[in-house]
Amino acid sequence: MQAAQAREHDGTTGQERPGTPGSPATPDGRPRTRGGFVLLGGVQMTLIFTLAALAVPLPRIGAEFRLDRADLILLSAAYGLTFAGLLLLGGRLADRFGGRRTLTAGLLLFGTASALAPLAPGYEALLAARFAQGVGAALVAPAAMAVLRALFPAPVAYGRAMATWGGLSVLGATAGNLLSGVIAAATSWRGTFAVPVAVALAALLLAPRLLPPTPPGPQTGPQPATPPRPQPAPPPGTDRALDLPGALLATAGITLASFGLVLTDAHAWGSAPVLVPLLTGLALLAAFAAVERRTADPLLPPDFLRDGRRALGLAAIGLTAAGTATVFVLLSLALQEGRGWSPLLTSAAFVPFAVALLGSGRLAGPLIGRYGPGRVTGAGLGTAAAGLGLLAATGFDGSVPYAYGLLPGLLLLPAGGALSFAGAAVLAVEGVPADRAGLAGGVLNTAMELGPTVLFAALLTLGGDAVSLAAAAVLFTVLAAVTLRVK
């Protein structure tokens, strides 16, 4: 029985695969794949938990530090700005210096910033800590996916792992919204930072035992059974340049453009606080695209995004992340400001969301194996669209009871979102060679971070929370129709 489980985990058939040289293994020689996946998955969930952890207690922070709306928006977005802006560079660093080494460096920075945040005496110190958390997270997220690729080198096992991995981020966001209200009610908003500190410390202690070493540069070892799609890569044995011009342009462009979009909640689209960073960021991103076409070893190879299946997967990841994040923000505000609910009761309202997410996530892997990642992604997007439509119709009417005004939508949206994330994650990384796993992780997480920023700002311009969710439902439906055609 144990041998059969081992074969299932590493994706091989027949003879049991021994641990790869230098990889952490149990006394009988089997790699600790289960423990390693749990560790990496917990870290990934915590990165997204940290992104959402201040959403519910944000009004209390504003009252304590006497902040206006613009300050609160920047504080809420600070972590995501540096996280999204540095992900491509983080992916390149993981591929060049090794996933586990980059993961360790990122965890040290992430954990230190998380420990300093609750000690902040004022707004400026807390804002700086949030920015630093995002820098650490930008190293950790793609490095974790590079280590995951080394942990599951066989293609079948890697596909199964990614099907589960795809749902971890939305689960982390849900946990952030649920636990932040509970922790803030029991202690204060400062207590929410205990979670990332504890996880970072545990990961640093357990990584040498549970995670395989990931040598820098092009990696050898088991490769996918089918040839990977063509990817620009340096000759074997050569060192990869960091493409510093591309890294600087991408980081500054993504950060500035995102910052401009974030400020649309407090300023008009035509105002200088929005237009200056937004247009500057877009100009820098245009320059980044031009530089990448002329660079021998670009930070983001142009061919990487030309794959149709990968592009659909990344679009689905960004859209699903945007839809769930928009619901969290709009409903949290509506319940507290419109219905007068406490932060604790607001968090409790999302418990069914978490239950549906877990249940659907358990089904995602087998469904992908049977029907293919494209069809599962499309079905998930369609189900989530129905949930968004129901929330738009009844969720913001305070006279409609929770049981049939919010609950149906809060069940359908996560049930579809878990399937969408799982299938899209498989589409986004299939065919990527092992030495580009960090790049794939950086691009996937960038889509996950930029989706909510771009779509949330666009939806708010339509006027009205219900209209915003209805428009999101239409977008989900259109992408579902396209994706259902892909196996």
Q: What is the pLDDT of residues 232-256, one digit of tens each?
A: 444 443 455 678 888 899 999 999 9
- 360 class by beta-carbon count within 10 Å (0-12 exposed, 13-18 middle, 19+ buried): buried
More confident residue, 485 or 472: 472
Residue 59 lies in a domain: yes
CA atoms within 13 A of residue 344's CA, in its CB half-sphere: 7
Measure the CA–CA gap between 282 and 103, rounded to whole angstroms. Answer: 30
User: Which candidate, 302, 298, 207, 192, places its Cα nearest to that of 249?
Assistant: 298
Q: Is residue 338 part of a domain?
A: yes
Same domain, residue pair 210 and 62: yes
pLDDT digits (tens, 9 = 90+) for 270-284: 899 999 999 999 999
CATH number at residue 69: 1.20.1250.20
Residue 374: name the closest of 329, 437, 324, 307 by CA: 307
Alpha carbons 470 and 467: distance in angstroms, whole number: 5
Q: Are residues 266 and 333 in the same domain?
A: no
Spatial distance between the Cα atoms of 68 and 62, rounded to a whole number of angstroms = 7
Tens-place pLDDT, residues 34-43: 899 999 999 9
* Cα–Cα dist 71/387, whole Å: 32
Residues 283, 419, single domain; the answer is no
What's the chain's average pLDDT? 84
Per-residue model confidence (pLDDT) at position 130: 95
Residues in the chain, overall count: 487
Q: In terms of domains, do 75 and 182 share one?
A: yes
Q: Write down the pLDDT at residue 177.
A: 74
Q: Are residues 369 and 435 in the same domain?
A: yes
Is residue 264 pLDDT above 80, yes or no? yes
Rounded to two decimals, what is the model's pTM? Answer: 0.81
Residue by residue, DSSP assigns 371-426 as H-HHHHHHHHHHHHHHHHHHHHHHTT-TTS-HHHHTHHHHHHHHHHHHHHHHHHHH
Is it the case that residue 22 has pLDDT exceeding 50?
A: no
Last residue of a domain, one of 271, 298, 325: 298
Does residue 455 or residue 238 have the better pLDDT?
Answer: 455
pLDDT tens digits for 161-185?
998 888 887 788 788 877 877 887 7
Contacting residues for 55 by C-beta, under 8 A, at least 6 apart: 76, 176, 177, 180, 328, 329, 332
Residues 323 and 356 in one domain: yes
Banded pLDDT at 300 (limits 50, 70, 90): confident
Cα three-residue angle 329-334-336, rounded to 5 degrees: 100
User: Which amino acid belongs to residue 336?
Assistant: Q
Query: 224 vs 485, which has greater pLDDT?
Result: 485
Query: CA distances (Å), 74 to each of 32, 131, 326, 346, 473, in order?
Result: 41, 10, 17, 23, 27
Query: What DSSP line would sit under 450-475, residue for residue?
Result: HHHHHHHHHHHTTSSHHHHHHHHHHH
Task: Look at residue 58 and tell me whether its pLDDT is greater than 70.
Answer: yes
The domain boundary, picked from 252, 273, 298, lies at 298
- Asked if residue 265 and residue 145 are part of one domain, the reply reads no
26 part of a folded domain: no
- In the numeric block, which tokens belong to residue 352? 């069914």
In this model, does residue 7 exceed pLDDT 50?
A: no
How far, in Å, are 24, 40, 136, 201, 420 from residue 108 at the CA level? 21, 15, 8, 8, 32
Domain that holds residue 150: 32-215+299-483
Number of folded domains in the chain?
A: 2
Distances from the Cα of 215 to the Cαs of 95, 212, 228, 299, in angstroms?
9, 10, 20, 19
Same domain, 179 and 265: no
Distance between the two ends of the chain, CA-based, in angstroms?
32
| pLDDT tens-place string over residues 83-131 | 999 999 999 899 989 999 999 999 999 999 999 999 999 999 999 999 9
